[in-house]
Amino acid sequence: MAKYINEENLKLLDEIVNSQKFQAIGEHNSIIKQVKGIISNTKPNPEKLFIAEGIWAQQKILETNTKIQSLIICPEYIFTNEAVMIVKQLSTLTDNLFIISSKTFDKISERDKPDGILSVAYLPRFSLENFKLNKKSIILILDGIEIPGNIGTMLRVCDGAGVDAVFICNRKARLSHPKLIKGSMGAVLTVPIVEFVNVEECYNYLHKNKFKIYLADTRAEKNYFEEEYQDRTAFVMGSERYGISREWYNYDCGLISLPMLGKCDSLNVGVAATVLIYDATMKIKLGAKHV
């Protein structure tokens, strides 16, 4: 449990706040407008910046060595020793250091009880050139997924199951979307994500590297638990509305389904991906015969 700020750290916070490095800004400053634009997801974001708010989010940034563009603090909301230490660490990672009032912080915060720390950070960039495959690898392909929260959930599942990478085709949602960031619970910083220009490019990479590709399709005759899987396996999950792109069906891919024993005809894409990924992880990486 975090301890409330002691006298020593109160003095340290005061030194940080009054240092020449930090600049006091108001609500109409361009930095605050930038934060609002990223949160609303309405402005161009070519640098793939995202907003990390609160102690937990800043800890993830430090743990993953994520690069930050700006650090914004509100001393009125910093109540713990832990928060002071985090501010001290983060303030060494960027020259863009800002102090705002509680009134201004409330206008950009998405939390009921703010911790007084917010950073503008860069999403990691992964490329195939420096992506190393293991002998036993599992990759999840997200084809046209539209709901940011679903993408975030699947990234979190991939992190938990030890999936090697997530490939994205026909991207419909920004990876910097606040709901995706929140849903991933930090996994967007830990799971390698590679975007492909088209399905053909993605398929060619998988085929070249000897992956067996499975399309999650409710029409498949074979259930997922009947499949043994080979050492390199990839799953394609399709759009919530339209399913998997027709182009995938032109390639050498297997079809597997999840049995629906009730009245509904399908599962949420994140739930379906969870079942498939963990089944494959147990069989491929942990050697289980039946899951």
Give pLDDT tens digits for 69-115: 999 999 999 988 899 999 999 999 999 999 999 999 999 998 888 99
Tokens 């894409």 — which residue? 269
CB distance 172 to 228 below 8 Å:
no
* pLDDT at residue 2 greater than cutoff 60: no
pLDDT value of residue 181: 95
pLDDT value of residue 291: 47
Mean pLDDT of 59-76: 96
CB distance 133 to 232 below 8 Å:
yes
Q: Compute the Cα dihedral for 248, 253, 254, 258 and give only its sign.
A: negative
Tell me the per-residue pLDDT of 268-284, one tens digit each, with 9 for 90 and over. 899 999 999 999 999 99
Task: For residue 151, give the nearest of 198, 183, 110 by alpha carbon.
Answer: 183
Percentage of the chain beyond pLDDT 90 is 70
Whole-angstrom Cα distance, residue 116 to residue 55? Answer: 9
Mean pLDDT of 35-60: 94
* pLDDT at residue 1 greater than cutoff 70: no
CB neighbours of 6 closer than 8 A, spacing ≥ 6? Answer: 81
pLDDT value of residue 289: 61
* Domains and their CATH numbers in the chain: 7-122 (3.30.1330.30), 128-284 (3.40.1280.10)
pLDDT-derived band at 288, boundaries 50, 70, 90: low
* pLDDT at residue 290 greater than cutoff 60: no
pLDDT value of residue 6: 78
Percentage of the chain beyond pLDDT 70 is 97
pLDDT-derived band at 3, boundaries 50, 70, 90: low
